[in-house]
Structure 1
Amino acid sequence: MKSILSIVVLGLIYSAVESKESPPKVQVYSRNPGEYGKDNTLICHVSGFHPPDISIQLLQNGEEIPNAKQTDLAFEQGWQFHLTKSVAFKPASGEEYSCRVRHLKNLKTYTWEADM
């Protein structure tokens, strides 16, 4: 009887955790101050989300920038996750750099602001 009760309680706890959705917090920044024509790294840090069904794209004028690197999915307290994606880039005047994040069925784009 104890084992059946334990299984039921664990199932209820798991269901409560699984049903809790948290949208991601997104930060888009560069490793160094943004200067046109200078090598830099574009970084998109996504945190505080649940469930871990997520994808990140780094974009230049709406097109994915090749050779981006992504960290492993990391677990935070409270059943939330974080992830970082980065790519080398050389900012150019008139170009738009952004991070597109899809979490579950929600898709949002966040634009990098140069420090100029």
Structure 2
Amino acid sequence: MKAPLCAVVVGLLCLAGSSFAKDAPPKVQVYSHGPGEFKKVNTLLCHVSGFHPPEITIELLKNGKEMHDSKQTDLSFEENWQYHLTKHAPFTPNQGEHFSCKVTHMGKSKTYNWEPDM
């Protein structure tokens, strides 16, 4: 009995809080866990923060095609009702390959490129 009641209360608080939040575009950072070196195993990360509403799509791309072995963190929010997420995937960059993060929020898509450290 307590769990359903808690879920209802949390849901109502989320709705009330989100009604005070303003639309905010995401801030995006694309980086690798280790130095960006060719032929070295690494992790590609795309951190998206400061956005509202929470509906967002993040895609990690290799040469313009989605990397299907990626994983995403759970949606989290700040006290101002802006949200953040991180998507990551293992990768081994080779010369001539291009890696990027495509973010779609409020019907607008933008692609952000990863820059190797070379």
- The letter of the residue matching 2:103 is V
% identical equivalent positions: 59
Helix, strand or coil for the counterpart of 2:30?
strand
Q: RMSD across aligned C-alpha pairs, in angstroms?
A: 1.4
TM-score by length of 1: 0.85
Misfit runs of 4+, over 3 Å: 13-16
**1:17–1:89 Cα change, 3 Å:** same
Matches for 1:31-70 after TM superposition, within 5 Å: 31-70=33-72
Deviation at 1:14, TM superposition (A): 5.9
Secondary structure of residue in 1 paired with 2:20: helix
- How far residue 16 of structure 1 moved from its aligned partner, in angstroms, is 5.0
Of structures 1 and 2, the larger Rg is shown by 1
Query: Deviation string for 1:12-71 (max 9, x for gaps)?
Result: x768525x1000000000000000000000000000000001000000010001110100
Aligned mate of 2:96, from 94, 97, 101: 94
Selected match of 2:84 from 82, 85, 95 = 82
* Structure 2 segments unaligned to the other structure (5+ residues): 1-15
Distance in 2 between the 1:101 and 1:16 partners? 23
